[in-house]
Amino acid sequence: MPTLTALLDDYRGGRRSLRRHIADTMAAVRSGDDRSIWITVLDDEQLEPYLARLDGVDPGDRPLYGVPFAIKDNIDLAGIPTTAGCPDYSYVPEESAFIVQCLIDAGAIPVGKTNLDQFATGLVGTRSPYGACGNAFDPLYIAGGSSSGSAVAVALGQVAFALGTDTAGSGRVPAAFNNLVGLKPTRGLLSARGVVPACRTLDTISIFAATAVDAQRVLEVSARYDEQDAYARPDRVPELGHATIASDHFRFGVPRRDQLEYFGNQAGAALFERAVERLQQLGGAPMEVDFEPFLEAARLLYEGPWVAERYAAIREFVERQPESLFGVTREIIQGGAKPLAADAFAAQYRLQTLRRRTEALWSEVDLVITPTAGTIYTIEEVAADPVARNSDLGYYTNFMNLLDFSAVAVPAGFQPAGLPFGVTLFAPSFYDEDLLAIADRLHGAQELPMGATANPMPEEPSIRVRHGHSIPVAVCGAHMRELPLSHQLEERQARFREAARTAPEYRFYALPGGPPSRPGLVHVGTGGQSIRLEVWDVPSDRFGSFVASIPAPLGIGRVRLEDGREVAGFICETTGVEGAEDITSLGDWRVWLEQRRHRRTETTLS
């Protein structure tokens, strides 16, 4: 299966036929692989309406024209049974889930429903009456869960991408175990309407893809606000952290060495260290962080009352037909009937305390890297101790949705036995595209195949983050780093992006008044010079208050940079420089400040 970019290019260039490609896809899906990937595969009659709606359509008119995809079987596809991994629970929905319909409207072709840990309860992929899903590289090993079949279908190249869900790691652990990118978006960014809930307040639909670029393409199509989903959230400016983190200079947290856990897997430890080194080579500055608040939050998910939410999701069914549940699944979910309301409030209070502690981290780092899972187990090892082994796999994942983070799992190499290892990048909510951009660079810095195929990583355009979250602003005076008004930017969580220079079209003045002293930048076209400045990314929802704080004769206009770009920036009215000192020849506000300091020192000494 080619990447989305390559597939769409082939369609649009006339090099690939839609019906021929889908026929080849279905041949692969129906090949009889013994890994227990699929629960339901669409037949030709069921596929035809999706193909027919694209007849006569220009491939360039649909962003996912003819792209085959798989759906985890706790997500509705109209007319196809949804089982949630439990045959007795099965129902046939009249409508597709909101996200599935978004993808179909974009031209994507659903080909089937994939296996999962029953009721999305597990990180192993073995808790299913439809069979334990085998790893794409070695079927004796687990595929990871609960979105096991979705991950393996993508890894084997049967489909271009797949939907999973992720409450406690179900969209990241299978990605790590099958050499895939696994995007766990911000809670509510993707509508969960039409999804069988596990923990409704925490559930997130996830995306499996061979590359970060493919994951972003799917995200762009599916991240539509659904007002009918009570837990949906429109994309917005992040409340924590910085305006953007996908730059050439970023700071990333790494858990303290004594808090890293590999469960005896030394190969995993070595691969994680290499991933940290690669992030540094990409421009990241590492900082060791205390991981204990995250670990405590992770323990709350299953040791606290949130398991009661799993019970509430299927209470009527589990009370009526408890024998229909997989043994270990029944044990976990029925345990949710025990917590008291008082326990739920106590856990919420503790979680809020932990959330506040972790919020402080984002003033120091832009993102955090961890292993996605410290190790991987065989299906036999999980069967011997299913609860303990599952708990091991949630060490780095269970806290994510409780603490409201965005996250993406990224391939990070292979262990000596030929099994993949992965790392996870996470940040506050609504940093999904920034994380994908960094994940793309980290993934591309390695010579890895795509999934379990022999296909090498393609040379595709890198992800360009939309700057809807921030506005680049050029500052040339008191707002520059460590100068008197820089706090006005920092208080608005603006982030320094780069040092730069203007095009040689400006005159520069030291304005009267102060403190603090301020410069005036005036565009003159001919007769100007290049002036040194800084570009900051200002959160778009705080840009207005920043502009309102600027006194006359200064204002915000368009400033042309030396490389031809134009950004918002400080400009000065021409009438405002009457009587001001022309310092154009210096070309740098800091140079003028230093010269003024020397003059004052000499005056004092004389």
Q: What DSSP line would sit under 203-237, residue for residue?
A: --EEEEESSHHHHHHHHHHH----TTSTT------
Euclidean distance between CA atoms 163 and 209, whole angstroms: 9
pLDDT value, residue 341 = 79
Residue 405 has pLDDT above 90, yes or no: yes
Q: Is 338 annotated as catalytic?
A: no
State the pLDDT at residue 460.
Answer: 75
Place of tokens 């079927």: 139
Percent of all residues in the chain with a pLDDT value above 90, rounded to a whole number? 77
Cα end-to-end span (Å), the chain: 79
Q: Is the peptide bond preceding residue 191 cis, with omega within 30 degrees of 0?
A: no
Predicted confidence at residue 467, as pLDDT, reads 53
Using the predicted structure, report yes or no on whether residue 54 has a pLDDT greater than 60: yes
Q: Are 205 and 233 in contact (CB under 8 A)?
A: no
Strand order in the sheet with 506-510: 519-523, 506-510, 581-582
Confidence of residue 327 (pLDDT cuts 50, 70, 90): confident
pLDDT top residue among 9 and 539: 9
Contacts of 207 (CB under 8 A, 6+ apart): 161, 162, 163, 164, 171, 182, 183, 185, 215, 218, 219, 222
Query: What is residue 297's predicted lDDT score, i.e. its pLDDT?
Result: 94
Residue 443 near residue 211, CB atoms below 8 Å: yes
Supply 154's token pair. Answer: 């993508």
pLDDT at 65 over 80: yes
pLDDT band at 281 (very low <50, low <70, confident <90, very high): very high
> According to the model, what pLDDT value does residue 598 have?
84
Asked whether the predicted pLDDT for residue 492 surpasses 60, the reply is yes
Q: DSSP assignment, residue 549? A: T
Edge-to-edge strand order for the sheet containing 566-572? 495-501, 532-539, 470-475, 566-572, 554-560
Q: Give mean pLDDT, residues 304-320.
A: 83
* Catalytic residue (one of 72, 96, 128, 206): 72
Task: Give the mean pLDDT of 525-552.
Answer: 90
Q: Label residue 243 by pLDDT band (50, 70, 90).
A: low
Residue 600 CB: number of other CB atoms within 10 A?
A: 10
| Whether residue 72 lies in the annotated active site | yes
pLDDT tier, 247 (very low <50, low <70, confident <90, very high otherwise):
confident
Residues 424-458 have pLDDT tens digits of: 999 999 999 999 999 999 999 999 999 999 999 88
Residue 95 predicted with pLDDT over 60? yes
The amino acid at residue 192 is A
Q: What value does the mean pLDDT take over residues 577-591?
A: 93
- d(C-alpha 69, C-alpha 221), whole Å: 14
Q: Of residues 487 and 318, which shows the higher confidence score? A: 487
- pLDDT higher than threshold 90 for residue 338: no
What mean pLDDT is reported for the chain? 92
Q: Which of 170, 222, 429, 530 is catalytic?
A: 170
pLDDT at 303 over 80: no
pLDDT > 80? residue 242: no
What is 240-265 written as a DSSP string? SS-S---SSSEEEEEE-GGG---TT-
Q: In what order do the strands lie in the sheet with 367-371?
A: 38-41, 109-114, 68-72, 161-165, 205-209, 181-184, 405-414, 420-428, 367-371, 250-255, 284-289
Rg of the chain (C-alpha set): 27
- For the CA atoms of 98, 103, 106, 112, the dihedral, rounded to the nearest 10 degrees, stands at -130
The mean per-residue pLDDT over the stretch 40-60 comes to: 96
Q: What is the DSSP letter of 56?
A: T
Q: What's the pLDDT at 319? A: 85
In this prediction, residue 552 carries a pLDDT of 87
**Mean pLDDT score, 116-141:** 97
Q: Active site residue: 146, 148, 150, 191, which one?
A: 146
Q: How many CB atoms lie within 10 A of CB 362?
A: 21
| pLDDT tens digits, 354-404 | 999 999 999 899 999 999 999 999 999 999 999 999 999 999 999 999 999
What's the whole-number mean pLDDT along residues 135-162? 97
Q: Which domains does the chain have, with CATH numbers?
A: 4-301+346-444 (3.90.1300.10), 467-605 (3.10.490.10)
Distance CA 214, CA 219 (A): 9
